[in-house]
Chains A and B, each alone.
Chain A
Amino acid sequence: MNILIVEDEKSLILEVYQFLTNEGFTVENVYTKKAAAEKILVNNYDFILLDLGLPDGDGFELLKILKDLKGREDAVIILTARGDVNDRIKGLEEGADDYLPKPFSLNELLARIHAITRRKHKLESNDIDIKGFRINIQKRTVLYGDQRINLTKKEFDIFNYLVLNKKRVISRTNLTEHVWGDILEVNSDSNFVDVHVKNLRKKLSQFAPIDWFETVRSIGYRINI
């Protein structure tokens, strides 16, 4: 999949570029609105990561240019330091697929990219299999064989996020941010996550051993498959 990053902060581009390349994406960078407009006209992208505050114009204008082109299915994720709710609403209303306020976690970005991909392609992979546990993202269910495991909303969200980012250590704060949202929850202390994870583990281990569900020292968790 190819991704276009439109962002004027070069150091940030470098990091996102490195991360996404490691994940196996083809990534291109542009720093200005003008350059981005040219790229968009020439190529189709799976994803465009769009910063709103560009040196030569507003990211919304690029969004408009893109939406005026017929038959384009480029998914747009707006990345911006503008936390403004109105900006967020405006971006989504004008055709962006997601909105990620800076500073964001790269894992979060990846999770959103995965989510949009699934949504767009209506993938069969709505069913993810982890050692016999089948997670259905659409229906939000977890099955072991034919048996349904009753998870709370939070437990499911945590499991889902860890599975989407499997083989990667996910810190408690990262998990909190994703599951509890990052806009208004300020004083989140990470030990609630532990309680949920503990319950989740208890429920899962009733069906099969879950040694793949690791606690990584004092940092966080990892699903190691």
Chain B
Amino acid sequence: MKLQFKLALYNALTKFAIILFTGGLIIISLARISNHHIELRLRQKKAELLAHLSSKDIDNILHQQKAFSDFNIFQEEYIIITPINSLYDNATEVTFTTEARPVEKRMQSFRILKSGFNYENHGYLLEIGETIDAVDELKSTIKGFTLLMLFIALSLTLLIDLIFTQYLLKPFYQIIDRKLVKVNDPMNFDYEKISTTTQDFKLLDDSISSLMVKISNLFTLEKQFIANVSHELLTPISIISSRLENILQQEGLTEDNENKIFASLKTIDRLKAIIKSLLLISQIENNQFNKKDQVNISEIIKEINQEIADRLEIKKLKFYNNTNAAYTMPGNRSLMYTLLYNIINNSVKYNRVGGGIILSDTQTPHTYTLEINDTGIGMDAIEIEKAFNRFEKLNTSEKESYGLGLAIVKSIAAFHEVGIQINSTKNTGTTFILTFKKNPHLH
């Protein structure tokens, strides 16, 4: 989950909790306060009633020893006085209850004061009730209102939080996007500062930039080193090989010496091939090749097929070209040729006699996938992991493997933004999967 959404979610949850808590608190305290007020009023009324007991009307009623009940006009209050047969010992004791009473065919909740009193040697039970329906209504109104407020406040703050955190975190996401995600080569790093007033982001940006400076310096140094060393080695090699060739032209050389010189020339060729491969890799990595050709993959495959026809024959291999998509990409033709050649040539080299090589492809609107499948000796997971490393050789009887073929493949693939994956089972075969992005960025 993105940081932005996490923050917004957190804010929403805390707000929800706060509103829930305060809402609950308000409702509870509202109930208690209103009860308290009602009880106060009821006590006052009782006091008033007892004070007016001497008045004639009540007097009469009470003397008739009948129960007296009275509702006021709005049926919000009532008084019931019921005579009882004994006197009250503790006439001042007051109890409060909440009960439902029928009022005009419907039940209404009342807060009821119950108390006994003695009047002229008679005991009476006094009940004064006051409706609390109004309070309940108020409570439910407040509940609804709180809920509504809760909902509005939540959605509003969620929206504001999202907008604000988006604004706040924009530089952060810019840093991630421009400085981390889109950087596949330190050489193409964008050193332009991301404008932000947040100190932490500034620090992050600066740290990444300075780290990248260090990395790219090392990178350049390594590339320069390889290029220089390779370059400087070529001339001496040229001298040695020319000298040996000249010696060979001399008459009277013994067969033994001639063989030794040829062996030396072969060693020099090997050295030359290694240096050239390293130079090629360094040139690819330094972007010294252009990508101006329209490269037709199936054409290249046909060419390679012709080129390796003799090798296929030697090993009695069958070459099945099941590709049928006419895929053309912008790139460097000779490099793409080398890439496919090295992979297919490996399929030949590491194949068993009488085996096969199968090429197939699939296309989606955004990608073109080419699979090169062989029935060779295969690789285990550790070998696959190391396959693209320089000077990594499989245990093979191949004398002239320098362990650079797949390193070249890797750098060419990276140069053309071609995805490359190896699936392999030991002693069964290997599949190279090349994924070409359609319309990749052109630098």
Contacts and interface: CB of A to CB of B under 8 A. Distances in A.
7 tightest CB-CB pairs across the interface, nearest first?
Answer: A103-B238, A15-B242, A81-B234, A102-B238, A103-B237, A189-B400, A184-B338
Interface stretch (B93-101, B137-145, B269-277, B381-389): B269-277
Given A9-B239, A173-B269, A187-B345, A105 B262 contact: no
Nearest to A185: B341
B404 A171 contact: no
B258 A12 contact: no
Nearest to B269: A173
A103 B310 CA distance: 28
Given A19-B249, A84-B288, A171-B266, A186 B276 contact: yes
A184 B341 contact: yes
A220 B283 CA distance: 33
A65 interface: no
Interface in B235-270: 235, 237-239, 241-243, 245-246, 248-249, 255, 258-259, 262, 265-266, 268-269
Interface string B265-300: 110110011001101100100001100000000000
Chain B interface size, as a band, is: 35 or more
B238 A104 contact: yes
Nearest to B255: A217
Interface of A: 9, 11-12, 15-16, 18-19, 22, 81-86, 101-107, 154, 168-169, 171, 173, 177, 182-192, 195-196, 217-220
B45 interface: no
Contacts of A169: 248
Given A15-B246, A190-B400, A217-B255, 12 more contacts: A15-B242, A83-B283, A85-B289, A103-B235, A182-B276, A184-B280, A184-B341, A186-B342, A187-B398, A189-B400, A192-B314, A195-B313
Interface string B19-42: 000000000000000000000000
19 contacts: A9-B239, A11-B239, A12-B242, A15-B239, A19-B242, A81-B231, A81-B238, A102-B235, A171-B266, A184-B338, A184-B341, A186-B402, A187-B345, A192-B310, A192-B314, A195-B313, A217-B255, A218-B259, A219-B258
Given A16-B242, A22-B249, A171-B265, A187 B400 contact: yes
A82 B231 contact: yes
B314 A191 contact: yes
Q: Which of B241, B262, B280, B311 has the most CB of A within 10 A?
A: B262
Contact of A186 (B237, B268, B273): B273
A81 B235 CA distance: 7
Interface string B95-125: 0000000000000000000000000000000
Given A184-B337, A184-B341, A103 B404 contact: no
A11 B400 CA distance: 29
A12 B289 contact: no
B259 A189 contact: no
Contacts of B235: 9, 12, 81, 102-103
Contacts of B402: 186-187
B366 interface: no
B146 interface: no
A107 B262 CA distance: 14
B241 A187 contact: no
A83 B279 CA distance: 8
B441 interface: no
Contact of B245 (A106, A186, A192): A106
A189 to B, nearest CB: 4
B311 A192 contact: yes
